[in-house]
Structure 1
Amino acid sequence: MSAQTASKPKQRAVKLEVPKYGGLASHQLLRWIKQVSRAADALNIDDDEIRVFFAMSHPTGRADDWAWGLTCEDGYAFANFDDFIEQLKAAFLQANSDFRYRGEYLSARQDKRSIREYVHDLRFLASCVTQKSSLPEETKVTIFMNGLNDSAARTQLFRTYPSTFEDAVRTALAEEFSVLQSRTTTKTLDPHDMEVS
């Protein structure tokens, strides 16, 4: 056994379940693409042609008809995995989907949701924007801060003004936790403990 072989053990392949994509909602397409890519990585599929075949085994309905229709016409309809993904997006992603998701992101508000639910929605909308440069980090931070309800978390964010979205989320959640802890501590104090005889 050579030194190279001994130092680099072969990774064990792991099979991940990937749901079928039927050609409907565009946000499901973007999630499905990420799931298929991760599942192919977990199975150690490095060859582009095999990655395409692996991905083509997971659509159903319209998406399945589309993929196999193209390969029946031209056996080399997809030059590589990236080409397959781009053609899939062109066929099934809504027109102006980046504009729509970016617009939803820019108008997002916490309203009656918890900070965690608000953050979850913002992360989801940001993941649906395919052109990442159109939603810079500074914009994400500003929208998150402005969309928060008036609270100690929002006040703390405006004091510190974090540079990244994830830093802003950590700060807001830490402040929310501190406020909840202080309320819990106040409620559990027994007034009789304070009496001095």
Structure 2
Amino acid sequence: MHSRRPETLKIDISKYRGVEEDSLLRWFVELDDAIRARRIDDGDTQVAFAQSNLAGRAKTWALGLKLHDPYAFGSLKVFKSRLRQTFEPPRAEFRARTELLKLKQGKRDVYAYAQNIRNLTSCISSNPVDEHTLVSVFMQGLADGPVKTHLFRLDLD
């Protein structure tokens, strides 16, 4: 009887370009999920897979480093660290936290407002915002109207 090799799942991930609108932390989550799904265990192969999902400035940067030192990225951890040092904006988490705490619904619908809160929250990883604070931020930023009135009447604890 032959033992079957476990199936792998081929998950495609977005290309990280190294531009301001790309979230490096979200790309790392996509990358880690794809590596697990594809069952890529070898460190060199993990780095090669990660590099194959770079584009633009980020790809140019990685290729430039490898031209000078073929072993510039000894592991996926080193690759991520160097990528973060190069492309993550200074104080990115501080900026995301500040923007989150000042966020208002404005003219957006409630769904878009909630999605904006989720996106900002996902950028804060070293000291995540607790759920009670998120609820307070959400409620405080809601535009006056029937949704806000209804939610304030609910017991959210």
Aligned to 1:189: none
Ranked by relative contact order (alpha carbons within 8 Å, sequence separation 6 or more), the top structure is: 2
- 1:89-121 CA distances to partner (integer Å, 9 max, x unpaired)? 110011111111111111111122221111111
Aligned to 1:42: 37
Q: What is the number of equivalent residue pairs in this alignment?
A: 156
* 8 Å contact kept, 2:17–2:56: yes
Q: Which runs of 4+ in 1 moved over 4 A?
A: none
Could you state the TM-score of these two structures normalised by the residue count of structure 1?
A: 0.68
- 1:114-141 CA distances to partner (integer Å, 9 max, x unpaired)? 211111111011112232x252222212
Q: Distance in 1 between matches of 2:131 and 2:5?
A: 37
- 1:10-59 CA distances to partner (integer Å, 9 max, x unpaired)? 44222222332222115443333222222222211122221111001121
After superposition, the Cα gap between the structure-2 partners of 1:160 and 1:10, relative to the gap in structure 1 and judged at 3 Å, is: farther
Q: Distance in 1 between matches of 2:75 and 2:155?
A: 46
Q: Which amino acid aligns with 1:32?
A: W
Q: Distance in 1 between matches of 2:23 and 2:32?
A: 14
1:146 pairs with 2:140: yes
After superposition, the Cα gap between the structure-2 partners of 1:11 and 1:154, relative to the gap in structure 1 and judged at 3 Å, is: farther
1:51 pairs with 2:46: yes
1:70 pairs with 2:30: no
1:110 pairs with 2:105: yes
Could you state the TM-score of these two structures normalised by the residue count of structure 2?
A: 0.83
Residue in structure 2 matching 1:33, options 7, 19, 28: 28
After superposition, the Cα gap between the structure-2 partners of 1:61 and 1:149, relative to the gap in structure 1 and judged at 3 Å, is: closer
Which of 1 and 2 has greater Rg? Answer: 1
Q: Distance in 1 between matches of 2:132 and 2:81?
A: 28
Q: Pairwise CA RMSD of aligned residues?
A: 2.4
Q: Distance in 2 between matches of 1:22 and 1:72?
A: 19
Q: Could you say which structure has the higher helix fraction? A: 1
Unaligned runs of 5+ in 1: 163-197
